[in-house]
């Protein structure tokens, strides 16, 4: 079930049997010369829909823009500041909690969101306690990073080895190729891709990672790899969601 395709009576009926909701979150940022700018949101949304179908869970609207300040020296990248994203997450959870939801499972596609999401959860728990909402003490939040699922990580290493890298990776590019086969991009890639530099500001990031990749070779990606990664992620996260719900 997708929240935006439901009516309010359907959501009310859903809440009679479950107080859990899945919220996909990603980013809108550069992913190298061949990766789609929407990669992180595309992957999180597709996997969240798959988990929703497998578990009967309600899936909320995708949060497409995340914390990606270090990518904003590349055209097309958009970011929220950590403080802004914390407020967005807090408002999402607060108003859904008022409706009766209490279990929030964020399927995340962007590493830069993790620290801010965890801070947002802490802020939200305190905020709900201050509001003294019914059952506010029962609200629980979890972030699940699809690319860190054990089976996904294992397959990515098997397929790509060290050329998986850590940004604009062939695994995430493969997943977007599977989801959007008509939007596969190609471009010449320098074999000497940068890696190992710490992340600071946007200008510093582009100086050290001039084409946007971090140790990755997305030319290895194929739509069939993406299908395999998608199926593994849906299976692993469906199990994780049900365990968290119960």
Residue 95 has pLDDT above 90, yes or no: yes
- How far is C-alpha 25 from the geometric centre of its chain's CA atoms? 4
**Distance between CA atoms of 159 and 77, rounded to whole angstroms?**
28
pLDDT tens-place string over residues 9-35: 999 999 999 999 999 999 999 999 999
Per-residue pLDDT reduced to its tens digit, 38-55: 999 999 999 999 999 999
What tokens does 209 get?
């990672």
Query: How many helices (H) and strands (E) are present in the chain, helices listed first?
Result: 8, 4
Q: For 121-176, what is each residue's pLDDT tens digit? A: 999 999 999 998 888 899 999 999 999 999 999 999 999 999 999 999 999 999 99
| Per-position b or e across 98-119, b if 16+ CB within 10 A of its CB | eeebbbbbbbbbbbbbbebbee
Q: How high is the pLDDT of residue 133? A: 82
pLDDT at 42: 98
- Tell me the backbone φ, ψ of residue 126, rounded to 5 degrees: -65, -40
Q: Can you give the pLDDT at residue 132?
A: 87
**pLDDT tens, position by position, 106-122:** 999 999 999 999 999 99
Pairing of strands 140-145, 58-59: unpaired
What pLDDT, on a 0 to 100 scale, did the predictor assign at position 125?
A: 97
> Domains, the chain, ranges and CATH?
3-245 (3.40.50.10310)
| pLDDT confidence of residue 91 | 98
Surface-to-core class of residue 202, CB atoms within 10 Å of its CB (0-12 exposed, 13-18 middle, 19+ buried): middle
pLDDT of residue 64: 98
- The whole-number average pLDDT for the span 209-217 is 98
Predicted pLDDT at 135:
83
Q: Token pair of 210, please?
A: 């001039």
Nearest-5° Cα angle at 86, 3 to 29: 75
Q: Give 49-52 contacts, CB < 8 A, sequence gap 24+.
A: 49/2, 49/24, 50/230, 50/233, 50/234, 50/238, 51/22, 51/107, 51/234, 51/237, 51/238, 51/241, 52/1, 52/2, 52/22
pLDDT digits (tens, 9 = 90+) for 56-81: 999 999 999 999 999 999 999 999 99
- Strands of the sheet containing 140-145, edge to edge, are 58-59, 20-25, 103-108, 140-145
Is residue 224 scored above 90 in pLDDT? yes
């Amino acid at each position: 079930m997708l929240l935006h395709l439901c009516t309010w009576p359907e959501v009310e009926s859903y809440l009679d049997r479950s107080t859990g909701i899945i919220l996909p979150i990603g980013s809108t940022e550069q992913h190298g010369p061949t990766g789609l700018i929407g990669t992180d949101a595309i992957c999180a949304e597709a996997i969240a829909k798959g988990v929703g179908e497998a578990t009967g869970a309600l899936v909320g609207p995708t949060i497409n823009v995340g914390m990606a300040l270090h990518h904003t020296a590349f055209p097309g990248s958009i970011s929220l500041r950590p403080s802004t994203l914390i407020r967005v997450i807090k408002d999402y959870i607060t108003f859904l909690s008022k409706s009766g939801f209490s279990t929030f499972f964020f399927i995340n596609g962007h590493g830069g969101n993790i620290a801010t999401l965890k801070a947002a959860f802490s802020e939200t728990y305190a905020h709900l306690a201050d509001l003294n909402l019914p059952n506010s003490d029962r609200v629980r939040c979890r972030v699940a990073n699809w690319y860190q699922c054990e089976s996904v990580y294992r397959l990515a290493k098997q397929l790509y080895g060290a050329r998986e890298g850590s940004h604009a990776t062939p695994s995430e590019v493969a997943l977007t190729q599977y989801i959007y086969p008509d939007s596969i991009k190609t471009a010449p890639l320098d074999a000497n891709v940068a890696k190992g530099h710490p992340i600071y500001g946007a200008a510093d990031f582009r100086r050290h990672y001039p084409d946007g990749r971090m140790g990755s070779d997305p030319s290895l990606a194929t739509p069939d790899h993406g299908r395999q990664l998608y199926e593994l992620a849906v299976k692993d996260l469906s199990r994780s969601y049900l365990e968290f719900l119960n």
